[in-house]
């Protein structure tokens, strides 16, 4: 009888007096981000411990301790070769797939380089790389071409909207192609590549096209039979299949060019020197052994069968469709692995979906990377040329071979709760509140005052009076239009005006489109949307009155909207300044429609009208500042400081000259391909250099006000406050309403004025940006909780584990 690898390792372990411990998985989170990494299989974990504690010999040593280690190493190699139907001699252990990719690419490129030296002509030769590869592949090709001084044309193979490779492009270039890089399963969409179809094309050629197939996401999910395919290099990663991070392997076809990336003691047939990572190899070996057994129909209590995985997907699909009726899946489910679901929800940004799921207890991945404001779409969804909204909303839910039915069912509850919370926050556009008998709308009136809708670096502002249910909209952007319309309709607000602060040099205003969307007639008699002839707008509110003030400069027609508070001695509290003043800069004035020489007077006018505590709400925010104040700008914005200096240090001409110079530097500056509307300086001269962060433990000891700045949806979903050891629920002021707190503090209206204010979000990122912004305005009593909810949860998990 053949003894299993884990059995063998246990044997070693127990013979040395070790004991198996059952309770090492302890988490109440539902982890649906398994394409990023997977939880480690229990047996694999034990294999790591056993090999570290007991079988720690060096496989190269010739004594018995070395021989034991070598046996584990070679058995793991056999299991790897069996799973992918290759020869053991074609398997090379590496630190992971990225390294395996480097070895493949370097091997081939070094071979080309050597052939060239021998006189082979590689002119007109091409490298073909699929557009949806993991970044490790194109980056490796580019890097090693550069290092080796190879000037070979690299062609990106496009995909269609379903993610399928354009085979015609492969066919068209095949004759000149020397190296082809494709993947077996896409990590973002789960789409399975039909490798046989590609093979048919490339093997028609008289010459050999070397072929790398990144198979990281295929292992364990589809049956890879490398003996039946003419792939030269295939790459695999341990941490995607329940082994630890830091281990993977490369399949390198016999006779394919090989060149080591790391040279030394000659381990792994000289392809990968360095003492082998035996704990990692033992662990991946254990998983591979189980995969082999599964293939042979032997069930494992730790790994789900393919049938179960499809059943799980159906359960999740039903829940997602029920929670988000407008959901669209970004891959053809028939052609993808069951464990990956990539979807978009109309009206919701991927980070909003991700944050809400996170608050509901599910970890999923946002398809797009973003800092606090800017959005960088997934290159895979971009390559698929999906509509803008799908790219902005795309997320990936991925479970694994280890996911249990219980986790799936808990996931369903969390998904339904997330759908409900989005509806309650008027953000789930797919379902009208009126028809939704599931939900009781919580306090709609909580949206009062200034609301900031952000998209990329643009701001659209809403001024909402929840008492009279009136609002005005300032600087609508096309990207925020749908969510603004939904916000207004869901809350039954009446729109008094849709205003622009200026005509746009580079695009059309979205004012008319928004009016259309809201079925409103344009009641304005100027191009920027101002109703009536007076410069005062009696906004139907007991609180505010709005003045239109011409502020030419950025454009000739630029205006600012000054908001006075009738309940605060008619004080000017905040201003929608458009692109006239930005945080740390002035709006650019080099457009055909700009008026640089009027800008000087505009700044003098503003200086007369504004006191230091007036909050400025700009149309763009490149610095994650949310808003700024006249006082801060006067002190930090160099040109502004000089222009309004009471001792007349700068003349109009000097101002224009300096402004032109600054604008000319801006010309070449773009943020993600879009033009910048004004000078931005991220390093503003603020003396306080300390990070405004505080550790959660401090919350118990000091007097503070805790403010939850996450979206309303997240706050509705997350109730687990006792992780902070606090008894009360924090005050919720979502990030989009944070300017109201700024105004209250600036106007000394806030109850929190002399209190320590601690801001909280899920990971500590968003709250840190806001805390910095408050600090920038001079409020040194504002902090962000270090690591946010995530850190506190970790600590409470840790406590739980220690109690066991
Ligand atoms: N290729 C694909 C398709 C992946 O999903 C990943 C990991 O995200 C990699 C390569 C890199 O793998 P590793 O983390 O083992 O270097």
For residue range 731-779, what is the model confidence (pLDDT) as tens digits? 889 999 999 999 999 999 888 888 889 999 988 889 999 999 999 999 9
Spacing, Cα 545 to ligand 1 middle (Å): 57
* Ligand 1 pocket: which of 132, 184, 240 to mutate (most atoms within 8 A of CB): 240
Q: Which atom of ligand 1 is nearest to the CA of 133?
A: 3
**Residue 675 class from Cβ within 10 Å (0-12 exposed, 13-18 middle, 19+ buried)?**
middle
Domain assignment present for 687: no
Site of tokens 């990329």: 456
Ligand 1 site, residue 248, Cβ cutoff 6 A:
yes
Q: What pLDDT band is residue 431 in, cutting at 50, 70 and 90?
A: very low
Ligand 1 site, residue 102, Cβ cutoff 6 A:
no
Percent of the chain with pLDDT over 90: 67
Ligand 1 site, residue 606, Cβ cutoff 6 A:
no
Q: Calculate the dihedral angle through the C-alpha atoms of 596, 600, 602, 603, rounding to the nearest 10 degrees.
A: 130
Mean pLDDT of 712-719: 82
**In this model, does residue 135 exceed pLDDT 80?**
yes
Q: Which atom of ligand 1 is nearest to the CA of 101?
A: 10
**What is the Cα–Cα distance from 130 to 145, expressed in whole angstroms?**
17
Residues 643 and 730 in one domain: no
**What is the Cα–Cα distance from 283 to 45, expressed in whole angstroms?**
7
User: What pLDDT shows up at residue 107?
Assistant: 98
Tell me: the pLDDT tens digits for 329-374?
Answer: 999 999 999 999 999 998 888 989 999 999 999 999 986 544 444 5
Tell me: the pLDDT tens digits for 547-568?
Answer: 999 999 999 999 999 999 999 8
Q: What pLDDT band is residue 269 in, cutting at 50, 70 and 90?
A: very high
Q: What pLDDT band is residue 513 in, cutting at 50, 70 and 90?
A: very high
Ligand 1 site, residue 331, Cβ cutoff 6 A:
no
Spacing, Cα 215 to ligand 1 middle (Å): 9
How far is the CA of 210 from the CAs of 203, 358, 531, in angstroms? 10, 43, 68
Neighbouring CB atoms inside 10 A of 743's CB total: 24
274: left (phi over 0), alpha (psi -120 to 50) or beta: left
* Ligand 1 pocket: which of 138, 216, 219, 235 to mutate (most atoms within 8 A of CB): 216
User: What pLDDT shows up at residue 445?
Assistant: 45
Mean pLDDT of 267-290: 97
Residues 266 and 330 in one domain: no
Q: What pLDDT band is residue 274 in, cutting at 50, 70 and 90?
A: very high
Q: Which atom of ligand 1 is nearest to the CA of 185?
A: 3
Q: Are 192 and 337 contacting, i.e. CB atoms less than 8 angstroms apart?
A: yes
Please name every residue paired with 395 in a beta bridge, in sequence order, or none if there are none: 343, 366
Site of tokens 């999906």: 386
**What is the Cα–Cα distance from 639 to 243, expressed in whole angstroms?**
58
Q: Are 229 and 70 contacting, i.e. CB atoms less than 8 angstroms apart?
A: no
Ligand 1 site, residue 237, Cβ cutoff 6 A:
yes
Spacing, Cα 236 to ligand 1 middle (Å): 8
Q: Are 35 and 217 contacting, i.e. CB atoms less than 8 angstroms apart?
A: yes
CATH code of the domain in which 702 resides: 3.40.250.10
User: Which residue would you say has higher pLDDT here, 267 or 373?
Assistant: 267
Q: What pLDDT band is residue 525 in, cutting at 50, 70 and 90?
A: confident
Number of domains in the chain: 4
Spacing, Cα 283 to ligand 1 middle (Å): 18
Spacing, Cα 63 to ligand 1 middle (Å): 36
Tell me: the pLDDT tens digits for 28-45?
Answer: 689 999 999 999 999 999
Q: Are 546 and 532 contacting, i.e. CB atoms less than 8 angstroms apart?
A: no
Side-chain half-sphere exposure of 734, counting CA atoms within 13 A: 20
User: What pLDDT shows up at residue 758?
Assistant: 93
Domain assignment present for 24: no
Phi and psi of 616, rounded to 5°? -105, 125
Q: Closest residue (by CA) to atom 13 of ligand 1?
A: 97
* Ligand 1 pocket: which of 33, 35, 36, 97 to mutate (most atoms within 8 A of CB): 97
**What is the Cα–Cα distance from 393 to 395, expressed in whole angstroms?**
7
Task: Choose the weakest-confidence range: 110-114, 318-322, 372-376, 720-724.
Answer: 372-376
User: What pLDDT shows up at residue 374?
Assistant: 53
Q: What is the pTM of this model?
A: 0.83
Residues 623 and 586 in one domain: yes
Q: Which atom of ligand 1 is nearest to the CA of 95?
A: 15
Site of tokens 């090379």: 92
Q: Are 590 and 580 contacting, i.e. CB atoms less than 8 angstroms apart?
A: no
Residues 567 and 456 in one domain: yes
**Closest C-alpha to 31, from 417, 413, 398:** 398
Ligand 1 site, residue 134, Cβ cutoff 6 A:
yes
**Closest C-alpha to 785, from 801, 799, 764:** 764
User: What pLDDT shows up at residue 418?
Assistant: 92
Residues 710 and 784 in one domain: yes
- Give SS3 for 311: helix
**In this model, does residue 669 exceed pLDDT 70?**
no
Domain assignment present for 88: no
Q: Give 136's contacts (C-beta < 8 A, 6+ positions apart).
A: 97, 98, 101, 214
Arithmetic mean of pLDDT over the chain = 88
Q: Which of the listed residues 675, 704, 731 is the one where a domain comes to its end? A: 675
**What is the Cα–Cα distance from 86 to 95, expressed in whole angstroms?**
20
Q: What pLDDT band is residue 783 in, cutting at 50, 70 and 90?
A: very high
Spacing, Cα 378 to ligand 1 middle (Å): 15
Q: Closest residue (by CA) to atom 7 of ligand 1?
A: 36
Q: Could you tell me the sign of the dihedral formed by the alpha carbons of 275, 280, 283, 289, in that order? A: negative
Spacing, Cα 187 to ligand 1 middle (Å): 8
User: What pLDDT shows up at residue 376?
Assistant: 76
Annotate 444-470 with b (16+ C-beta within 10 A) or e (fewer): beebebbbbbbbbbbbbbbbbbbeeeb
The number of residues making up the chain comes to 804
Domain assignment present for 429: no
Percent of the chain with pLDDT over 70: 88
Q: Closest residue (by CA) to atom 9 of ligand 1?
A: 97
Neighbouring CB atoms inside 10 A of 800's CB total: 12
Q: Could you tell me the sign of the dihedral formed by the alpha carbons of 528, 529, 532, 536, in that order? A: negative
Ligand 1 site, residue 43, Cβ cutoff 6 A:
no
How far is the CA of 300 from the CAs of 10, 42, 297, 771, in angstroms? 17, 12, 9, 50
Q: Are 211 and 234 contacting, i.e. CB atoms less than 8 angstroms apart?
A: no
- Return the beta strands (E) in 13-116 as ranges: 30-31, 91-94
Q: Choose the most confident range, by mean pLDDT, from 392-406, 671-685, 698-712.
A: 392-406
User: What pLDDT shows up at residue 601?
Assistant: 95
**What is the Cα–Cα distance from 187 to 34, expressed in whole angstroms?**
10
Q: Which atom of ligand 1 is nearest to the CA of 186?
A: 3
* Ligand 1 pocket: which of 214, 237, 243, 246 to mutate (most atoms within 8 A of CB): 237
Ligand 1 site, residue 96, Cβ cutoff 6 A:
yes
Mean pLDDT of 179-203: 98
Domain assignment present for 665: yes
Phi and psi of 520, rounded to 5°? -110, 150
Spacing, Cα 100 to ligand 1 middle (Å): 10
**In this model, does residue 26 exceed pLDDT 50?**
no
Site of tokens 């062609």: 155
Q: What is the DSSP string of 148-209?
A: HT---EEEEEPB-TT--B-HHHHHHHGGGEEEEEEESB-TTT-BBP-HHHHHHHHTTSSSPP
Neighbouring CB atoms inside 10 A of 226's CB total: 20
Mean pLDDT of 49-65: 95
CATH code of the domain in which 251 resides: 3.40.640.10
Q: What pLDDT band is residue 796 in, cutting at 50, 70 and 90?
A: low
Q: Which atom of ligand 1 is nearest to the CA of 35?
A: 5
Q: Are 43 and 302 contacting, i.e. CB atoms less than 8 angstroms apart?
A: yes
Please name every residue paired with 31 in a beta bridge, in sequence order, or none if there are none: 363
Spacing, Cα 392 to ligand 1 middle (Å): 23
Q: Which of the listed residues 392, 424, 456 is the one where a domain comes to its end? A: 424
User: What pLDDT shows up at residue 755?
Assistant: 85
Domain assignment present for 542: yes
CATH code of the domain in which 399 resides: 3.90.1150.10
Ligand 1 site, residue 217, Cβ cutoff 6 A:
yes
**In this model, does residue 450 exceed pLDDT 80?**
yes
Long-range CB contacts for residues 330-334, cutoff 8 Å, separation at least 24: 330/163, 330/189, 330/381, 330/384, 330/386, 330/390, 330/394, 331/162, 331/163, 331/186, 331/189, 331/190, 331/191, 332/162, 332/191
Residues 487 and 409 in one domain: no
Residues 396 and 464 in one domain: no
Q: At what angle do helices 738-746 and 765-776 cross, to 10 degrees?
A: 20
Q: Closest residue (by CA) to atom 16 of ligand 1?
A: 98
Q: Which atom of ligand 1 is nearest to the CA of 248?
A: 15
Domain that holds residue 530: 444-675
Residues 97 and 210 in one domain: yes
Residues 98 and 138 in one domain: yes
Neighbouring CB atoms inside 10 A of 148's CB total: 16
Residues 138 and 99 in one domain: yes
Task: Choose the weakest-confidence range: 258-262, 400-404, 458-462, 792-796.
Answer: 792-796
**What is the Cα–Cα distance from 439 to 427, expressed in whole angstroms?**
13
Q: Which atom of ligand 1 is nearest to the CA of 99?
A: 16
**What is the Cα–Cα distance from 113 to 103, expressed in whole angstroms?**
15
Q: Closest residue (by CA) to atom 5 of ligand 1?
A: 187
Q: Which of 370, 431, 471, 677 is catalytic?
A: 370
Annotate 698-708 with b (16+ C-beta within 10 A) or e (fewer): ebeeeebbbbb
**Closest C-alpha to 284, from 231, 228, 220:** 220
Q: Give 226's contacts (C-beta < 8 A, 6+ positions apart).
A: 84, 85, 86, 90, 234, 251, 253
Ligand 1 site, residue 365, Cβ cutoff 6 A:
no
Give the DSSP letter of residue 721.
Answer: G
Ligand 1 site, residue 613, Cβ cutoff 6 A:
no
Ligand 1 site, residue 214, Cβ cutoff 6 A:
yes
* Ligand 1 pocket: which of 131, 134, 135, 398 to mutate (most atoms within 8 A of CB): 134
Spacing, Cα 237 to ligand 1 middle (Å): 7
Spacing, Cα 97 to ligand 1 middle (Å): 5
Q: Which atom of ligand 1 is nearest to the CA of 238?
A: 15
Q: And the tokens for 221?
A: 């999910």
Mean pLDDT of 706-719: 86
Spacing, Cα 247 to ligand 1 middle (Å): 11
Alpha helix positions (H), 566-711 = 596-609, 630-636, 638-643, 652-667, 698-701
Q: Which of the listed residues 675, 710, 730 is the one where a domain comes to its end? A: 675
- Give SS3 for 536: strand
Q: Closest residue (by CA) to atom 8 of ligand 1?
A: 36
Ligand 1 site, residue 187, Cβ cutoff 6 A:
yes
Ligand 1 site, residue 97, Cβ cutoff 6 A:
yes
Q: Choose the most confident range, by mean pLDDT, from 95-104, 112-121, 690-699.
A: 95-104
Q: Which atom of ligand 1 is nearest to the CA of 98?
A: 16
Q: At what angle do helices 64-83 and 5-15 cross, to 10 degrees?
A: 160
Domain assignment present for 434: no
Residues 138 and 222 in one domain: yes
**What is the Cα–Cα distance from 655 to 597, expressed in whole angstroms?**
8
Q: Choose the most confident range, by mean pLDDT, from 384-388, 573-577, 704-708.
A: 573-577
Q: Are 508 and 568 contacting, i.e. CB atoms less than 8 angstroms apart?
A: no
Spacing, Cα 284 to ligand 1 middle (Å): 15
The verdict on whether 370 is a catalytic residue reads yes
Mean pLDDT of 46-61: 95
Spacing, Cα 249 to ligand 1 middle (Å): 12
Domain assignment present for 60: no
User: What pLDDT shows up at residue 725?
Assistant: 67
CATH code of the domain in which 560 resides: 3.60.15.10
Q: What pLDDT band is residue 187 in, cutting at 50, 70 and 90?
A: very high
Ligand 1 site, residue 136, Cβ cutoff 6 A:
yes
Neighbouring CB atoms inside 10 A of 151's CB total: 9
Residues 415 and 452 in one domain: no
**In this model, does residue 286 exceed pLDDT 90?**
yes
Ligand 1 site, residue 90, Cβ cutoff 6 A:
no
Q: Which atom of ligand 1 is nearest to the CA of 36?
A: 8
**In this model, does residue 24 exceed pLDDT 50?**
no
**Closest C-alpha to 767, from 757, 780, 779, 752:** 757
């Amino acid at each position: 009888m053949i003894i299993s690898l884990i059995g063998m390792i246990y044997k070693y372990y127990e013979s040395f007096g070790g004991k198996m411990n059952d309770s090492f998985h302890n988490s109440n989170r539902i982890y649906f981000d398994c394409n990023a990494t997977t939880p480690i299989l229990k047996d694999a974990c034990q294999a790591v411990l056993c090999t570290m504690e007991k079988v720690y010999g060096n496989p190269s040593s010739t004594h018995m301790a070395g021989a034991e280690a070598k046996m584990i190493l070679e058995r793991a190699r056999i299991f790897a070769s069996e799973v992918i139907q290759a020869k053991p001699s074609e398997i090379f252990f590496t630190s992971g797939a990225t390294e395996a990719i480097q070895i493949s690419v370097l091997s081939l490129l070094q071979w080309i380089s050597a052939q060239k030296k021998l006189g082979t002509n590689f002119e007109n030769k091409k490298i073909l790389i699929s557009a949806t590869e993991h970044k490790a592949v194109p980056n490796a090709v580019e890097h090693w071409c550069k290092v080796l001084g190879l000037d070979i044309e690299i062609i990106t193979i496009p995909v269609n909207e379903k993610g399928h490779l354009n085979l015609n492009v492969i066919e068209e270039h095949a004759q000149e192609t020397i190296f082809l890089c494709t993947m077996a399963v896409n990590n973002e969409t789960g789409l399975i590549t039909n490798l046989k179809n590609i093979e048919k094309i490339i093997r028609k050629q008289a010459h050999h096209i070397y072929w790398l197939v990144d198979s990281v996401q295929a292992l364990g999910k589809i049956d890879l039979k490398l003996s039946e395919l003419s792939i030269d290099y295939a790459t695999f990663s341990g941490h995607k299949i329940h082994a630890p991070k830091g281990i993977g392997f490369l399949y390198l076809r016999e006779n394919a060019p090989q060149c080591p990336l790391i040279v030394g003691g000659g381990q792994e047939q000289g392809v990968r020197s360095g003492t082998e990572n035996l704990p990692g190899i033992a662990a991946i070996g254990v998983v591979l052994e189980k995969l082999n057994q599964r293939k042979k129909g032997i069930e494992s209590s730790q790994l789900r069968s393919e049938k179960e995985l499809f059943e799980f997907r159906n359960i999740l699909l039903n829940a997602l469709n029920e929670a988000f009726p407008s959901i669209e899946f970004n891959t053809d489910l028939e052609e993808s692995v069951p464990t990956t679901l990539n979807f978009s929800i109309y009206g919701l940004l991927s980070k909003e979906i991700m944050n809400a799921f996170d608050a509901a207890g599910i970890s999923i991945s946002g398809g797009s990377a973003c800092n606090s404001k800017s959005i960088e779409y997934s290159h895979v969804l971009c390559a698929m040329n999906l509509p803008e909204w799908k790219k902005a909303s795309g997320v990936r839910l991925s479970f694994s071979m280890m996911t249990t039915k219980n986790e799936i069912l808990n996931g369903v509850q969390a998904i339904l709760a997330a759908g409900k919370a989005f509806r309650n926050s008027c953000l789930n556009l797919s379902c009208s509140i009126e028809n939704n008998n599931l939900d009781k709308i919580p306090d709609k009136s909580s949206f009062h005052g200034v609301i900031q809708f952000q998209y990329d670096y643009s701001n659209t502002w809403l001024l909402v009076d929840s008492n009279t249910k009136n609002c005005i909209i300032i600087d609508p952007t096309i990207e925020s239009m749908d969510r603004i319309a939904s916000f207004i309709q869901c809350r039954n607000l009446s729109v008094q005006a849709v205003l622009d602060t200026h005509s746009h040099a580079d695009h059309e205003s979205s004012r008319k489109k928004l009016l259309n969307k809201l079925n409103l007639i344009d009641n304005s008699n100027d191009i920027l949307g101002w109703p009536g002839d007076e410069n005062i707008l009696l906004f139907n509110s007991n609180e505010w009155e709005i003045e239109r003030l011409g502020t030419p400069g950025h454009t000739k027609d630029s205006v600012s909207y000054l908001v006075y508070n009738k309940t605060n001695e008619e004080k000017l509290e905040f201003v929608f300044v458009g692109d006239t003043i930005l945080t740390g800069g002035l709006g650019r004035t080099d457009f055909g429609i700009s008026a640089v020489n009027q800008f000087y007077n505009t700044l003098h006018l503003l200086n007369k009208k504004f006191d230091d505590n007036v909050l400025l709400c700009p149309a763009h925010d490149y610095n994650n500042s949310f808003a700024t104040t006249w006082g801060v700008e006067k002190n930090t914005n160099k040109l502004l400081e000089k222009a309004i200096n009471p001792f007349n240090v700068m003349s109009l001409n000097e101002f224009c000259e300096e402004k032109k110079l600054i604008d000319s530097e801006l010309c070449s500056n773009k943020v993600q391909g879009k033009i910048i509307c004004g000078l931005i300086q991220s390093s503003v001269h603020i003396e306080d250099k300390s990070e405004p962060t505080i550790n959660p433990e401090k919350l118990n000891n000091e007097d503070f006000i805790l403010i939850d700045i996450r979206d309303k949806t997240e706050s509705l979903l997350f109730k687990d406050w006792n992780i902070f050891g606090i008894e009360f629920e924090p005050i919720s002021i979502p990030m989009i309403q944070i300017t109201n707190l700024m105004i209250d503090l600036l106007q000394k209206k806030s109850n929190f004025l002399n209190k320590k204010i601690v801001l909280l979000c899920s990971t500590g990122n968003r709250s840190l940006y806001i805390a910095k912004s408050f600090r920038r305005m001079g409020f040194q009593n504002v902090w962000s909780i270090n690591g946010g909810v995530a850190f506190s949860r970790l600590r409470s998990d840790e406590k739980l584990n220690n109690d066991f």
